[in-house]
Amino acid sequence: MTTYIKQSAPSSRTAINDFQRQHFCSLLEQLISGALVQFGVRATSDLPQEGWERFTESREYRLFIEGAYACGFVCSDLRPNVDLNAVNQRPAEEMGRFDLKQLRHYVHTLIRSERASHGYGSLVWEAVLSGALERLLGRLANDSGLLEPL
């Protein structure tokens, strides 16, 4: 039997393993800290509203986008229909209530929408500015309720 490298995203029914979760958290940390360093600020709330063009040229941004696919957060069977504006307006509340399936769907929507709007702004930048990605990182890195019981 011949084995091939799959060229499509996984299904949302495919489990994310802990190594994928850890790596994606690392990419989120690098994305956020890279933006802070790039703009010489200490908090995401101090980032410039119009900094998306410089931000989307960064290595951390490219790795984050690719990593979302590699870590199984972009899925072949999901629609990009999470309300990103609602999440950006109330990141603590929205991220706090999402289960793993919803967190994954959020990332899927964010990445697919980002690619669809390429050159016309950055929804990832907006998620950094709002604190949504910091909240996502906090949930994925620290919420033991997202892990499969041993």
Write out the chain's pLDDT in tens, 150 residues. Answer: 668 888 889 999 999 999 999 999 999 999 999 999 999 999 999 999 999 999 999 999 999 999 999 999 999 999 999 999 999 999 999 999 999 999 999 999 999 999 999 889 999 999 999 999 999 999 999 999 999 988
Integer angstrom CA distances of residue 75 from 53, 62, 106, 149: 26, 18, 11, 24
Give me the pLDDT at residue 114, please.
96
**Residue range 19-37, pLDDT digits in tens:** 999 999 999 999 999 999 9
Give me the pLDDT at residue 1, please.
60
Q: How far is the C-alpha of 27 from the C-alpha of 50, rounded, in Å? A: 22
Q: How far is the C-alpha of 98 from the C-alpha of 49, rounded, in Å? A: 27
Structure-block tokens of residue 149: 């019981």
Nearest Cα to Cα of residue 23 among 55, 69, 57:
69
Give me the pLDDT at residue 3, please.
86
Predicted TM-score of the model (pTM): 0.94
Nearest Cα to Cα of residue 124 among 51, 38, 70, 72:
51
Structure-block tokens of residue 57: 């040229």
Which H/E stretch holds residue 60? Answer: helix 59-70
